[in-house]
Chain A
């Protein structure tokens, strides 16, 4: 079993839809949780960073963490074609390297 599981997609939605991206993990030692967006042939861009259970909102993005269920989500409201990318969940402990999910490819259709 992988430490972090993420549905690879691809996920195709119409413009304006609400998108839900999810990851589950098995290591209860993870202290913080991140979501990255990666466009083709580019480095990952940090979207959201959280370290506690609950919701964190930033514009159209909401990150949700449930440590008791070992489950994290990223919601994108009013999705735009420019949101089409691969979304990676990542988790970490201290200053060690992050553990990544496999990434979910999202396509927002205009």
Chain B
């Protein structure tokens, strides 16, 4: 299957700082990528849809000024958590659908811990 990578896999930051998470499609181009967060023992919660060349679309209740998304190229989307707080600690996962089909592939996830 297709490969999606995320970096970093784990990050610890202090409250008030910003953290950037990268999502890359390694062997296919993705005009759209999705960002999710997942709390322990819960399913994935869609945060936003990242669109190459245009603004991201955020789900209801997700602060767009706090979770900045930039889809810089056809293989890279970034999520920046600004002014992070302990309640932002979570598992963040991105996914990308292949162009030729609707199969969606997920990255390995990024575990964010805000102290």
Q: Which of A43, A51, A94, A101 contacts B106 (CB 8 A)?
A: A43
User: When the two chains form their complex, are residues B43 and A43 in contact, meaning their CB atoms are under 8 A apart?
Assistant: no
Q: Which residues of B contact A88 (CB under 8 A)?
A: 43-44
User: When the two chains form their complex, are residues A44 and B32 in contact, meaning their CB atoms are under 8 A apart?
Assistant: no
- Taken together as a complex, chains A and B put the C-alpha atoms of A43 and B37 apart, in Å, by 11
Segment from B12-20, B62-70, B80-88, B107-115 that makes contact with A: B107-115
Residue from the set B32, B34, B44 with the largest chain A CB neighbour count within 10 Å = B44
User: When the two chains form their complex, are residues B43 and A46 in contact, meaning their CB atoms are under 8 A apart?
Assistant: no
Q: Which residues of A contact B97 (CB under 8 A)?
A: 95
Q: How far is the CB of B10 from chain A (nearest CB, A)?
A: 9
In the assembled complex, B105 has its CB within 8 A of some CB on chain A: yes
Q: Which residues of A contact B103 (CB under 8 A)?
A: 34, 46, 49
User: When the two chains form their complex, are residues A34 and B43 in contact, meaning their CB atoms are under 8 A apart?
Assistant: no
- Taken together as a complex, chains A and B put the C-alpha atoms of A101 and B43 apart, in Å, by 7
Q: Chain B at the A interface: mostly helix, strand, loop or mixed?
A: strand
24 residue pairs bridging A and B, Cβ less than 8 Å apart: A31-B102, A34-B104, A41-B91, A43-B4, A43-B6, A43-B93, A43-B109, A44-B93, A44-B95, A44-B106, A46-B1, A46-B103, A46-B106, A49-B102, A88-B44, A90-B104, A92-B102, A94-B102, A95-B32, A97-B49, A98-B34, A98-B95, A100-B43, A103-B43
Please list the residues of chain B having a beta carbon within 8 angstroms of any beta carbon in chain A: 1, 4, 6, 32, 34, 42-44, 46, 49, 91, 93, 95, 97, 101-109, 111
